Amino acid sequence: MKNEFSPWVTPLNEKTIETSPTSWSIEYEHFPCTIDVTGPLLYTLFEEHWQDVQIGHVVEGSVLELEFTRPPKICILYDGYLTVVTEAWHLHLCLEQHLGGPHCKTPLELRQERLVSRAAFYRHLNPAGKPKGWGIQFWNGRDEKMMSLFLPNIFIGEEEDLLPEGKPNLEKLTLYQELREIYILGTRPIPFDENPLKRPYISVCRSSRCYPSRNWQPIFQALEEAVKEAGVDVRVGTAGCLEVCHNGPVVFYSGDRTWYTRVTPEVAKEIVCQHLLKGEKVKKHLYPPIK
Ligand code: FES
């Protein structure tokens, strides 16, 4: 049965403090990490606020920071992983169980370990307890820190310069405060009627590792035209590896997790008219093949 999407987050009311020998600390406020909470949050950040957010990974002795210079080219949920692709780099974050492609080959234990299992908004506090940094942190099923999202910092100017002492740009806290009201306090609704990452899509693999799929453009175009003509509410996109390499061009429909191989523009149209419109799969191009 389909889960009903609720725009209201039930607050966890869980606050923890991580201390360090430097007397700085991190205050975490946890929120539920189910897909109907993490999906809208991450969609908002990557699709609507990509200019305001940086992605990082911070452990003792190492810091990685990446920023967007343009909107992401791809932002989709595929086999449990959120994939965000930019001109220069891409990221994957496991928001739902990763089953392991068409053959579901990921062992059960590993599915749990890869999954985001804890998530929190954080503030970096100086030794006097004053907040100096804001962001979001994720942990996996082994309770290891996964990526961090750095939210706008009121002490940093437009050119990444430090603002003069005592003159923070308080407007930069707006995003953190609004998101906190939605996802931590539950006093404002999620601004979507449905989980935007769960909206069905059909995508064609454009990865260069999939040699026959290099000619993905005609398939993409055929899908776009057919979806428009059929008037179905399905996004058309491109994707990275869909785990059926060497049988390309490969197409994936997220609505019911279906893979198609050796897709031509004609087959693409058939998939839309038969499968997306009438619910009947195009059997001779299914993967795994029907014996
Ligand atoms: S590279 Fe296209 S399916 Fe793997």
DSSP 45-85: IIII-TTT-EEEEEETTEEEEEE-SS--SEEEEETTEEEEE
Give the pLDDT band of residue 45 (cuts 50, 70, 90).
Answer: very high
Residues in the chain: 291
Higher pLDDT, 167 or 152: 152
Q: What mean pLDDT value characterizes the chain?
A: 93
Question: What is the predicted pLDDT for the residue at 236?
Answer: 96
Does ligand 1 come within 6 angstroms of the Cβ of 205?
yes
Name the nearest CA neighbour of 150 among 165, 166, 138. 138
Nearest CA to ligand 1 atom 1: 210
Does ligand 1 come within 6 angstroms of the Cβ of 209?
yes
Say if residue 160's pLDDT is above 80: no
Say if residue 212's pLDDT is above 70: no
Q: How far is the CA of 238 from the centre of ligand 1 (A)?
A: 11
- What are the angstrom distances between the C-alpha of 105 and each of 74, 79, 100, 246? 25, 12, 5, 18
Say if residue 2's pLDDT is above 60: no
Does ligand 1 come within 6 angstroms of the Cβ of 184?
no
Does ligand 1 come within 6 angstroms of the Cβ of 240?
no
In the predicted model, what is the mean pLDDT of residues 14-26? 95
Does ligand 1 come within 6 angstroms of the Cβ of 213?
yes
- High-pLDDT (> 90) share of the chain, %: 84
pLDDT 10s digits, 164-180: 777 888 899 999 999 99
Three-state DSSP at 149 gives: strand
Question: What is the predicted pLDDT for the residue at 206?
Answer: 87
Does ligand 1 come within 6 angstroms of the Cβ of 248?
yes
- High-pLDDT (> 70) share of the chain, %: 98
Q: How far is the CA of 249 from the centre of ligand 1 (A)?
A: 8
Question: What is the predicted pLDDT for the residue at 3?
Answer: 62
In the predicted model, what is the mean pLDDT of residues 10-14? 97
Say if residue 290's pLDDT is above 90: no
Say if residue 291's pLDDT is above 80: no
Does ligand 1 come within 6 angstroms of the Cβ of 70?
no
Give the pLDDT band of residue 213 (cuts 50, 70, 90).
Answer: low
Higher pLDDT, 213 or 48: 48
Does ligand 1 come within 6 angstroms of the Cβ of 239?
no
In the predicted model, what is the mean pLDDT of residues 46-74? 95
Report, in angstroms and rounded to the nearest whole number, the Rg of the chain calculated over CA atoms: 21
φ, ψ (nearest 5 deg) of residue 110: -65, -35
Q: Please name each of the domains of the chain with its CATH number.
A: 15-185 (3.40.1570.10), 200-287 (3.40.30.10)
The pTM is what? 0.92
Q: How far is the CA of 206 from the centre of ligand 1 (A)?
A: 7
How far is the C-alpha of 93 from the C-alpha of 197, rounded, in Å? 13
Beta strand extents in the chain (DSSP E only): 15-19, 25-30, 54-59, 62-67, 74-78, 81-85, 90-94, 118-125, 131-139, 145-150, 201-205, 235-239, 251-253, 258-260, 286-287
pLDDT 10s digits, 190-205: 999 999 999 999 999 9
